[in-house]
Amino acid sequence: MTILLDYPEPALLVHGGMLTQISQTKAALEALGCQVDYLRWWDQAQRADILHYFGRMPPHLLRFAQAKGIKVVLGELLTVQGSRPGWQLWLQRDIMRLLGTAMPVKLGAAFRWESHRLADASIALTAWEAHLLNYLFDAPQEKIHIIPNGVEGAFLDSTPATRGQWLVCTATITERKRVLELAQAAVEAQTPLWIIGKAYSDSDAYARELFKLVKTHPQILRFEGPIEDRIKLAQAYRESRGFVLLSFCESLSLSALEAAACQCPLLLADLPWARTVFKERASYCPITHSTQRTARFLRQFYETAPQLPVPPKPLSWTEVARQVKSVYEKLLAAPQ
């Protein structure tokens, strides 16, 4: 079985969970004996049984691949769609259907709305995203497979430690993750917060505002950039009082899964992905522009964290790869 992986954004210019998902999936599939490579756009000699595209593939390219006998699997993160309220999703679906009938075919293809319907399989990270693939994009239920992200052994095999006074937030320093708003609420609530991560650019205005706030409140806020060593990061989760992530839109947070693997209590933004995955074994904070309201939820979480239930244990990347490989095998075994 030969598998090609493809992703539309260059790793040189972005960082985050998707790149981790792709690289960890590749390594785990190779450990299971699969032949895996990244699609090289310039290499006409490349061959594949499976093309796994992490995104929404252009329909014309999808059809070209299938015409060559290649099975196409899509793995799109529905980060924005998955964070919208029900009325917005209903409106989006109706607008998509209206435009789909009114627009010229070539113009409609630019939105790639039919890609999941055309693909041989679509992989959703959560049951909520699986619902949206069918609800918004008409992906057939039988082609949708729910396979979550995994977690590295450094987190799954980490040993318990004495938890300290710091809450921890591991995230890219960007508006979507609401790290600055969380830091402002921590100052308001007087709850010690350790922020681990990096900005897309140190010159970014949002990141500079956070750095300024950290310097102003060194007793409450701690920021030392990212922790690249996975064992040290696992230790940070193990020694933290709780994990906090208040993104206003999210798909399936890798950092939340890492914290869960380290049995760290979770406070998450009250979004469908979080409720679907962690259910009653996490705490939830509404997304609000009120620093005072967020501070109240943060303070309550801080005080109750030692008594909160342990989050469910996530899968390893090897377990994830076995499920992904099973999808590939079923596609290749199906009659043409």
Q: Are residues 102 and 117 in the same domain?
A: yes
Task: Measure the CA–CA gap between 313 and 310, rounded to whole angstroms.
Answer: 9
pLDDT top residue among 121 and 105: 121
Beta strands, E only, 79-146: 121-124, 144-146
Tokens read off for 140 = 């057939």
Q: What is the CATH number of the domain that holds 292?
A: 3.40.50.2000
Among 62-71, 77-86, 141-150, 282-291, which is the least confidently predicted range?
77-86
Q: Are residues 323 and 226 in the same domain?
A: no
Q: Are residues 92 and 135 in the same domain?
A: yes
| 213-229 tens-digit pLDDT | 999 999 999 998 999 99
The DSSP result for 221-281, as a single string, is EEE------HHHHHHHHHHSSEEEE--SS-SS-HHHHHHHHTT--EEEES-HHHHHHHGGG
- CA nearest neighbour of 124 among 272, 259, 252: 252
Supply the range of the domain harboring residue 284.
153-307
Q: Are residues 137 and 217 in the same domain?
A: no
Q: pLDDT averaged over the chain?
A: 93
pLDDT at 169 (0 to 100): 97
Sign of the Cα pseudo-torsion (13, 18, 24, 25, in order): negative
Counting the structural domains of the chain, the total is: 2
Average pLDDT over residues 117-133: 96
Name the amino acid, one letter, at 116: H
pLDDT at 96 (0 to 100): 83
Q: Are residues 146 and 158 in the same domain?
A: no
| 272-289 tens-digit pLDDT | 999 999 999 999 999 999
pLDDT at 202 (0 to 100): 76
| 188-212 tens-digit pLDDT | 999 999 999 998 887 899 999 999 9
pLDDT confidence bin for 240, thresholds 50/70/90: very high
Q: Are residues 84 and 183 in the same domain?
A: no
Neighbours of 15 (CB within 10 A): 14
Judged against a pLDDT cut of 70, whether residue 299 lies above it is answered with yes
Tokens read off for 257 = 């899964």
pTM above 0.85, yes or no: yes
Name the amino acid, one letter, at 214: V
Task: Measure the CA–CA gap between 131 and 259, rounded to whole angstroms.
Answer: 26
Q: Are residues 138 and 205 in the same domain?
A: no
Average pLDDT over residues 6-23: 82
Judged against a pLDDT cut of 80, whether residue 104 lies above it is answered with no
Task: Measure the CA–CA gap between 93 and 110, rounded to whole angstroms.
Answer: 17
Q: Are residues 89 and 114 in the same domain?
A: yes
C-alpha atoms less than 13 angstroms from C-alpha of 49 in its C-beta half-sphere: 15
219 DSSP β-pair partners: none
Is 312 within the bounds of a domain? no
Beta strands, E only, the chain: 2-6, 35-38, 50-53, 71-74, 121-124, 144-146, 167-170, 193-196, 221-223, 242-245, 266-269, 283-285
pLDDT > 70 fraction of the chain, expressed in percent and rounded: 96
